[in-house]
Chain A
Amino acid sequence: MLSDREVLSTLSMVKNEHLDVRTVTLGVSLLDCARESLSAFVDAVHARIITQARDLVAVCDEVGERFGIPVVNKRISVSPVAVAAAPFDARGMVEVACALDAAAREVGVDFIGGFSALVEKGMAKGDLALIEAIPEALARTERLCSSVNVASTRAGINMDAVALMGRTIKATAKATRERDGLGCAKLVVFANIPEDVPFMAGAYLGVGEPSSVINVGVSGPGVVRKAIDRAVAENPGIHLGELAEVIKRTAFKVTRVGEIIGREVARLLGVEFGIVDLSLAPTPNVGDSVGEIFQSLGLGAIGMPGSTAALAMLNDAVKKGGAFASTRVGGLSGAFIPVSEDRTIAQAAADGFLSLSKLEAMTAVCSVGLDMVAIPGSTSAETLSAIIADEMAIGVINKKTTAARIIPVPGKEAGERAVFGGLLGEATIMPVHPNPCCEAFIRRGGFIPAPLQSLIN
């Protein structure tokens, strides 16, 4: 028999605190679509996605309805296109991108990820073709997402790739300049990219993964915030250790929801269940913000002194609660701090509490990195690369995933607003150092060697 409290608290989590399953992502392998001609390959890719994902949206809606927990986004991740389409040139890669986008539209998913390359140790022909194709591919498509892994703890940082990605981001911004550089919001540069992330824009299906798999991204910043608020209301003198326990218990509940829905969707689609990604991912909705959690913990705004410590505590508590709740945890699993996608974080940046430097420091303890950060369109490619390199270094040295999803908004300067729309939100453009002298450093290229794995203090 269920108790009144159990039923009422679950209802409250769903209705008032925005508990949902943020994304169900179907991973589809394209590796056996290899064909000699581009048109045959594109046809095979299209057919594979349509066949595999035809029922994805309907099944997610049905399961979400049965459990009373909405599945907000249904997405697809595919094998890294730089591998699957390795023989083709950049023009061919753009065609593949368009085919992926068309297939995504046909099956009704909002994003398809995997226009990706893994180049941490060097760039093969397919990798170069894919990276060259990114600006046009993202400009000509609506739902396609792209990611490039340029660094890892085992390989070090491929600074040639970092330099190339700085130029690629600039070109992508230019190609989508009418929409504030929207293409860059769908392009991430990674260190230590996981193979099973269900969240965009970094989702792709790793080569070590099954042919098709369901990965689930749970969310629930609103639930965590409300749980903290309730605990503080009951005991205004509550200390941080007790609040960490509150966050842990809440993360447990949120993760259980993700696992039950993910397993049911996988069962109905007849594919394997992969992982639950425990990340707290905000949306631009009021009450669905990671930034608000900082306020509930007692900080005036995210970005103020204390923010890194608060984020470290939040991230760790989320992992602890989630790890106990699910047998299959993966992806990024932590707290996202995407500036434009979180109303409170965007406001803190607009108010000047959150600078690029503070954001970078916080990424040492969060689950992703510099995420959805709008910067002046005049920022040079080398400066972009230098920002990326800093972020990659944090990931490589700390043996964690970090990423940079930065948007140099064409024609706009610091203090102006960039609007990306929908889940991608909007943000005030953050200033970059007024006179960055990093060109010589970036132009050196080469590799920053992999770090020592012992003597780790």
Chain B
Amino acid sequence: MEKFAVSVMGHDRPGILAAVSETVFGLGCNIEDVSQTILQGEFAAIMIVARPPHVPLAQVDAALRERLAPMGLGVFVRPLDEGWQPAVPGEPFVLTTRGKDQPGNIAAVTRALAQLGCNVTQFRAVLLPAAEEGEEMVMILEIDVPQGVHHRVVRAAVAQACQPLGMEVSLQHRDVFENIHRV
């Protein structure tokens, strides 16, 4: 079985996952991993699927497009590169920022992280109603800090990037959250 990734995106509605899974199942494929989310009514999912060797990827791609296009959904199919290795996980930290929502917040934080080789493994940005005017944005990034980079350096770099934007920064080892909230 060879593996491929499928991503599907569009307005959220009932039946999207059913349409995708029925189509790939009809071609003898097996869905191994799924991650799905909905943001402001927009649906997005990514799946890792294994296909039998006699079913070409192009056939899967065509079948999915035929089924999903009438539902107004975009689909993207990509073979997995078996020789590719993901980045070596570093030490897991949780970075949070808090400040007024404005263009450039995310770019500033992620650029600072990228420059230090920190990989973002989970990312959420949440808008909170602020006491004063405007909205407040909280970013929660789970990051891997590579070996050889001290967390103090990461904290300083992100703080420097956030300072002109008026964002507060906090960096804590992930173990603290795991220990406090999970038995």
Contact = CB atoms under 8 A, between A and B. Distances in A.
A446 interface: no
B122 A1 contact: yes
B124 A68 contact: no
Contact of B142 (A2, A8, A68): A2
A256 B182 CA distance: 10
A90 to B, nearest CB: 47
A4 B140 contact: yes
Nearest to A259: B179
Contacts of B152: 65
Contacts of B170: 11, 14-15, 68
B175 interface: yes
Contacts of A452: none
Contacts of A256: 179-180
B173 A7 contact: no
Contact of B172 (A1, A4, A68, A259): A68
Interface string A252-276: 0100110110000000000000000
A2 B138 contact: no
Given A67-B172, A67-B173, A10 B180 contact: yes
A69 interface: yes
Contacts of B178: 2
A14 B96 CA distance: 13
B97 to A, nearest CB: 11
Contacts of B138: 4, 8
B171 interface: yes
A13 B172 CA distance: 13
Interface string B138-176: 101010000000011001000000000000001111111
A69 B176 contact: yes
B176 A260 contact: yes
B140 A68 contact: no
A433 B94 CA distance: 56
A8 B171 CA distance: 12
A104 to B, nearest CB: 27
Interface of B: 94, 96, 122, 124, 126, 138, 140, 142, 151-152, 155, 170-181
10 contacts: A2-B174, A2-B178, A7-B140, A8-B96, A10-B176, A10-B180, A65-B151, A67-B176, A256-B179, A260-B175
Given A65-B151, A68-B171, A260-B175, 12 more contacts: A2-B142, A2-B178, A7-B140, A8-B96, A10-B177, A10-B180, A13-B180, A67-B173, A253-B180, A256-B179, A259-B179, A260-B176
